[in-house]
A and B are shown apart, each in its own frame.
Chain A
Amino acid sequence: MKLDDKTIIKKESITVDFFYKNVKDRFKLTLFTDESGFSRNIYDQNLHRPGLALAGFVELFSYTRIQIFGNTEMKYLNQLTQEERARTLRKIFQFDIPCIILTDGNEPFPEMISLANEFHIGMFGSTFTTTKLVYLVGDFLDDQFAPRISVHGSFVDVYGVGMLFVGKSGIGKSEVALDLVERGHRLVADDVIIVTKKGENILMGSGTELVKHFMEVRGIGIIDVKSMFGVRAIRFQKRLEIIVELEVWDEKSHYTRTGLDEEVFSLLDIEIPYIKLPILPGKNITVISEVISLNYLLKHYGYDSAKVLQRRLEDRLNRLNVDDKRFVDYFEHDFE
């Protein structure tokens, strides 16, 4: 499988407008100011609590981040006189702050709203606690700024394992996906898969907004899997856990025989178990895919078939003078 580094998409910034429209319902945000600050950009996925900046220390003030005003900040502002408060806020509002969020149901002081409007900074309020809001907003920004890549293949949830089929055009990726759907597995996307890095070691895959669960089957044309097989046959997103590359059987190519040496494929700097599957007459790729998934689950639950047989062989080699090649000692009758 070939992937081009140039195709990695990474957002540099999002506007406050985009941020507010996407999260206002999820995080129960209310708007305190006008929308004049909505064209400002958010470049940083981290958040900042401006405690020290309010106290006057503005060196190293992370003003490019969304500013979170929690109970501490609001209590501090509360014990200042109105004049001092205005001076303090004016000092930090001069910076190019993307926007401000007040947590824990804190209400802004009247002069705070007028100053935010004067400096064109959007200010929101949330009833969530600071810890919860910081986690939620951080997760949202993490996803927005995550690197993504588009991959050509078919992505199916097989027994709960996210399996991505790749390979040359016309090798039968879509047909395998369709066969798996017919057997009760769920299609995530066909043809164009957008893979997004989540956190440090998770890749999530989904289809595109336009195409969703449509797929092309050679000789038939375009079909809609959701309408045809129903909602049980699809899902919107899935963690990518195994990459299966289909290829025409090649004598020179190396295929694993024991499964002891696990190959990985590095996608967005995350290593994903990778299996190269040769296509041969009489080989049912669908059933093999199910076996790959079940074997992955077995390994996940601590049972590695290849290692178990390897251990049995080693045990046997260590025992001397054993002459019981047969599994059964004595064929009495045709009993179990």
Chain B
Amino acid sequence: MLERKVVIVNNAGLHTRPAATIVKLAAKYKSEFFINKDGLNINGKSIIGVMTLAAEKGSELMLVFDGEDENEAAEEITNYFNRGFDEL
């Protein structure tokens, strides 16, 4: 199991388009993917779940990857967060 802490850096926050991209990226991997924020633990492979977070700019999220390809999944998804969902 891998844990990665990320901060939302783009101005618009984690809105619908990046949420959909995250879910799409996560779906490529066999590993389970969860996101924790303020005690809310959601499944990162579900769009409703990711939108539930309503993560605004500056909020901290804990990404949890668990499974055979967790390294690759963590790498790609963490990068996407750190790039500010390509909106910077």
Chain A residues with CB under 8 Å of chain B are 4, 6-9, 149-150, 152, 168-170, 190-192, 208, 210-211, 214-216, 222
Which of A7, A150, A169, A210 contacts B45 (CB under 8 A)? A169
Which B residues touch A9, using CB under 8 A?
38-40
Min distance, Cβ B46 to any Cβ of chain A, angstroms: 5
Which B residues touch A170, using CB under 8 A?
27, 45
**Which residue of chain A lies nearest to B48 when distances are taken between CB atoms in the complex?**
A191
Say yes or no: B49 contacts A152, CB within 8 Å: yes
Which of A169, A192, A216 contacts B40 (CB under 8 A)? A192
Which A residues touch B27, using CB under 8 A?
169-170
A6 to B39 Cα, complex, angstroms: 8
Which B residues touch A169, using CB under 8 A?
27, 32, 43, 45-46
Which A residues touch B39, using CB under 8 A?
7-9, 150
Say yes or no: A190 contacts B48, CB within 8 Å: yes
Which B residues touch A192, using CB under 8 A?
40, 42, 48-49, 52
Say yes or no: B43 contacts A211, CB within 8 Å: no
A283 to B48 Cα, complex, angstroms: 27
A84 to B32 Cα, complex, angstroms: 68
Which of A6, A152, A214 contacts B43 (CB under 8 A)? A152
Within 8 Å of chain A (Cβ to Cβ): is B51?
Answer: yes
Which of B41, B49, B54 contacts A7 (CB under 8 A)? B41
Which A residues touch B45, using CB under 8 A?
169-170
Which of A6, A8, A168, A208 contacts B52 (CB under 8 A)? A208
Which A residues touch B47, using CB under 8 A?
216, 222
- 4 further interface pairs, Cβ-Cβ under 8 Å (given A7-B39, A9-B38, A150-B40): A149-B41, A191-B49, A192-B49, A211-B48
Min distance, Cβ B44 to any Cβ of chain A, angstroms: 9
Min distance, Cβ A193 to any Cβ of chain B, angstroms: 10
Which A residues touch B48, using CB under 8 A?
190-192, 211, 214-216, 222
Within 8 Å of chain A (Cβ to Cβ): is B36?
Answer: yes
Which B residues touch A7, using CB under 8 A?
36, 39-41
Say yes or no: B51 contacts A152, CB within 8 Å: no
Which A residues touch B32, using CB under 8 A?
168-169
**Which residue of chain A lies nearest to B16 when distances are taken between CB atoms in the complex?**
A222
**Which residue of chain B lies nearest to A191 when distances are taken between CB atoms in the complex?**
B48
Min distance, Cβ B3 to any Cβ of chain A, angstroms: 11
A190 to B32 Cα, complex, angstroms: 19
Min distance, Cβ A148 to any Cβ of chain B, angstroms: 8
A262 to B17 Cα, complex, angstroms: 44
Say yes or no: A150 contacts B46, CB within 8 Å: no
Which of A6, A8, A150, A222 contacts B42 (CB under 8 A)? A150
A-B contact pairs, 15 of them (CB 8 A): A4-B41, A6-B41, A149-B41, A150-B40, A150-B41, A169-B27, A169-B32, A192-B40, A192-B42, A192-B48, A208-B52, A211-B48, A211-B51, A214-B48, A216-B47
A6 to B64 Cα, complex, angstroms: 13
A91 to B24 Cα, complex, angstroms: 64
Which A residues touch B49, using CB under 8 A?
152, 191-192
Which B residues touch A4, using CB under 8 A?
41
A176 to B37 Cα, complex, angstroms: 28
A222 to B39 Cα, complex, angstroms: 25
Say yes or no: B41 contacts A211, CB within 8 Å: no
Say yes or no: A210 contacts B51, CB within 8 Å: yes
Say yes or no: A152 contacts B54, CB within 8 Å: no
Given contacts A192-B52, A208-B52, A210-B51, contact A152 B40 (CB under 8 A): no
Say yes or no: A152 contacts B46, CB within 8 Å: yes
A211 to B54 Cα, complex, angstroms: 10
A215 to B32 Cα, complex, angstroms: 20
Min distance, Cβ A127 to any Cβ of chain B, angstroms: 37
